[in-house]
Amino acid sequence: MKKVFTKPKSLKDVPFHYCPGCGHSIIHRLVAEVIDELGISDCVIGVPPAGCAVLAYNYFDIDMCEAPHGRGCAVATGFKRAQPDKIVFTYQGDGDMAAIGTAETLHAANRGERITAIFVNNAVYGMTGGQMAPTTMIGQKTTTSPFGRRPEVEGYPLLITDLIATLKGPSYVVRHSLATPAKILATKKSIKKAFEMQIKGLGFSLVEVLSPCPTNWKLSAVDAFKFLESRMEKEFPIGVFKDVTKG
Amino acid sequence: MENKVLMKGTNALAEAAIQAGCRCYFGYPITPQNELPEYMARRMAEVGGVFLQGESEIASINMVLGAAASGVRSMTSSSSPGISLKQEGISFLAAMELPALIVNIMRGGPGLGNIAPSQGDYYQATRGGGHGDYRTPVFAPASIQELYDITMYAFDVADIYRTPVVILGDGMMGQIVEPTVCRKRQEIDLPPKDYVLDGAKGRPSRIIRSLILDTFEMEEHNWKLKRKYDLMRGRLPQHEEFMVADAKLVIVAYGTAARIAKGAVKRARREGLSVGLLRPITLWPFPTQAIQDIAKKVKHFLVFEMSTGQMVDDVLLALGGKAQCEFYGRPGGVVPTPMEITRIIGRYWVQKEILG
Amino acid sequence: MALRGKITIDDNLCKSCELCISVCPEEAIRISDGINYKGYHPAEFIKDRCRGCALCAIICPEIAIEVYRGK
């Protein structure tokens, strides 16, 4: 028998600190597999978020630079403009990308900044204990929306990926989900395509990944993954929103 | 023979940065320093550097972070309210020990203030401004030539000590036009940039971060920064003394205020008052030793600032009660004339019954 | 002849989330009675049912599973 699945080289041999059933480590693995497959581990620079994945640099065996909360796309812009030959990506959660970082994300996308943004959407602020995120859904209870999110008070979940897809700058904008192994593989394919866009010199590529947070959703891991399909995918439709390589 | 060019402050600063090898500028328009990004927009293209107008001052300082971590000499500029926005970024740069230049062309404040020159950001610049236990070297030029020379020097200081550096100008310093010699860079031996993130090719991967959860490790990092700042305290202070040798009263002022005070000192001298001027050039580290040396003979100091009094605290600290120290200030963007300061000197002279 | 497979699960990485069990088409994984150093009951491989499809490894957040496939 031959080994058909093993840990990618671009991940260090460090056990993950994430909660059981968290989507982060799956996405870390997908990104690392893509980095391995594209052979870019020695010319890639990653920018992790503030959030549960703040310690992502403990796992990825690549050059990584911390950024102030939300400013990942601006820091990545600095790296890419100073070193246009390197592959630069951000890895951000819902607060980082779509709350405090909205301006930096939007403008990097609008400039067609040649970076890749991996957006982990779990509809809640995990690290700080489960507060409402811009992507929290109507009726969803969090520690700062204890009555469930109400549109007349807290507004609606922000579909930032859809917004960014309307801009001329980005070249590839997609949303995926981790709900099943098949969907996980589809997510990986898009992450790979997003990096390939950057390698080709095309503008801003964004992959949003619907990801579970069993701890703050107060669900078991298995139920949290089911919730992705039963609820989140209905609110945040999966699909390719923009792909300049396809007419 | 050196070629002198008439240059506006903001432009001289930009040109000096280019000559010093700065190849990344990120900034956002704010009066009274808009000519700086505008100059950079054209000039960076000429030298193959990067100019990008960020969407905000916050975005700009974070772009500087990425470029500095790439090993490229980088800078940003703004004015008071915009510098407030950059404080988090500056704190991160200090924590990560990344070199960068931040230019503040101060204007009236607080809040939106106005666009006239003021010196109301002294505390912000010298007390670390952002959160956490850090300092940044702060330079306060008082002429366009000095602004040019200090800018070139500031990049070296940033690289030698791996620290963000602040140049504190004011609206006047940014806007006046003076003959300037645009010196070329004198390359010096700099420490190797062994922290740069440029893709882990042929070496282990690196990280740059400021999050240190282990409190003892964090404590050591803070002491390490402090040792660095102590080194700077020993090596960096600069000041200018004008007619101090036989003075009975010394004015302490920096930047544009020092220009005005110098004129006042000259007038006062014509009236027979033996007045001098101490002009700090580094506001951090403050030229404490210079003040203490002067205070051995001089027992009267008058601090003049275009604010309600911020640097006066550092003068009082330096004096330690060994001399009298008064303050005169004009905040809000008001630029007094040397005549006014001469009158203040005269009034002080009489009130304090200073002889000679 | 159907492909045969086998998996190895790193006991100490497993956090007992049971995702592998939920996706395995052959019910070849179960939660063991053992306890790892983190206090979890790790998943364990029930031999002779595996096809080597790797669905478990794809969904395992800890990358605790290695998959082998062959005849």
Residues from chain B contacting residue A81 (CB–CB below 8 Å): 24, 50, 52, 63, 66-67
Are B92 and B201 in a shared domain? yes
- B244 plus B230 within the same structural domain: no
pLDDT digits (tens, 9 = 90+) for A142-175: 999 999 999 999 999 999 999 999 999 999 999 9
Residue B104 lies in a domain: yes
Contact B69 A65 (CB under 8 A): yes
Measured between alpha carbons, how far apart are the two ends of chain A, in Å? 43
Q: What separation in angstroms does the CA of A233 have from each of A164, B293, C68?
A: 18, 73, 33
CA angle at residue A210 from A205 to A211, to 5 degrees?
120
Distance from CA of C60 to the nearest CA of A (A): 7
For residues B116 and B258, state if they share a domain.
no
Q: Return the beta strands (E) in chain B as ranges.
A: 4-8, 24-27, 50-53, 74-78, 100-106, 138-139, 164-170, 177-181, 207-208, 239-242, 249-252, 275-280, 282-284, 300-305, 324-329
DSSP character string of A21-49: T-SHHHHHHHHHHHHHHHT-TTSEEEE--
Tokens 């940003």 correspond to what residue?
Answer: B76
Is residue B356 domain-resident? no
Residue B11 lies in a domain: yes
- Provide the b/e sequence for A91-130 (b: ≥16 CB within 10 Å): bbbbbbbbbbbbbbbbbbbbbbbbbbbbbbbbbbbbeeeb
> For residue A180, what is the nearest residue in chain C, using CA coordinates?
C59
Q: Which of A18, A22, A181 sits opposite C59 (nearest CB)?
A: A181
CATH label of the domain that carries residue A48 = 3.40.50.970
Q: Do A5 and C12 touch (CB under 8 A)?
A: no
Cβ under 8 Å to B: A residues 92-121: 103-104, 106-107
With respect to residue A37, please indicate whether it lies within any of the assigned structural domains: yes
B69 CB neighbours in chain A (<8 A) are 65, 75, 78-79
> Measured between CB atoms, does C55 come within 8 Å of chain A?
yes
Q: Which H/E stretch holds residue B244?
A: none
Contacts of A191 in chain C (CB under 8 A): none
pLDDT given at position B78: 97
What's the domain count of chain A? 1
* Confidence band of C2 (pLDDT split at 50, 70, 90): low
pLDDT score at C47: 85
What is the residue whose two structure tokens read 């997003």? A194
Domain boundary among B191, B214, B235: B235
The pLDDT, as a whole number, for residue C70 is: 87
* CB neighbour list of residue A136: distance below 8 Å, 6 or more residues apart: A123, A124, A142, A145, A149, A154, A157
Residues from chain B contacting residue A56 (CB–CB below 8 Å): none
Domain, as residue range, for B151? 4-235
Q: Is residue B147 domain-shared with residue B257, that is, in the same domain?
A: no
Instruction: Decide if pLDDT at A95 tops 90.
Output: yes
Strand order in the sheet with B324-329: B239-242, B275-280, B249-252, B300-305, B324-329
Residues B253, B213, single domain; the answer is: no
For residue A247, what pLDDT is reported?
A: 65
B309 and B167 inside one domain: no
pLDDT of residue C1: 53
Q: Structural domain of residue A62, as residue ranges?
A: 24-243
The pLDDT of residue A1: 87
Using DSSP, state whether B287 is helix, strand or coil.
coil
pLDDT 10s digits, A183-213: 999 999 999 999 999 999 999 999 999 999 9
C-alpha to C-alpha distance for B121 and B167, rounded to whole angstroms: 11
Mean per-residue pLDDT for A115-127?
A: 97
Domains of chain C: 4-70 (3.30.70.20)
What is the CATH classification number for the domain harbouring B333? 3.40.50.920
Q: Are residues B45 and B136 in the same domain?
A: yes
Q: Which of B184, B216, B235 is the last residue of a domain?
A: B235
Residue A147 in domain = yes
Interface of B with A in 292-321 (CB under 8 A): none
The structural domain count of chain B equals 2
- Chain A contacts of B211, Cβ < 8 Å? 54-55, 66
Task: Give me the CATH number covering residue B96.
Answer: 3.40.50.970
| Closest Cβ opposite residue A21 in set C19, C54, C68 | C19
pLDDT tens, N- to C-terminus, chain B (356 residues): 678 999 999 999 999 999 999 999 999 999 999 999 999 999 999 999 999 999 999 999 999 999 999 999 999 999 999 999 999 999 999 999 999 999 999 999 999 999 999 999 999 999 989 999 999 999 999 999 999 999 999 999 999 999 999 999 999 999 999 999 999 999 999 999 999 999 999 999 999 999 999 999 999 999 999 999 999 999 999 999 999 999 999 999 999 999 999 999 999 999 999 999 999 999 999 999 999 999 999 999 999 999 999 999 999 999 999 999 999 999 999 999 999 999 999 999 999 888 65
| Domain final residue pick, B193, B213, B235 | B235
pTM for the full predicted model: 0.94
- Read off the pLDDT of each residue in C28-48 and give the average, rounded to a whole number: 95
Query: In this structure, is residue A85 part of a structural domain?
Result: yes
Q: Are residues B294 and B190 in the same domain?
A: no
Same domain, residue pair B207 and B303: no
Assess if residue B290 is contained within a domain: yes
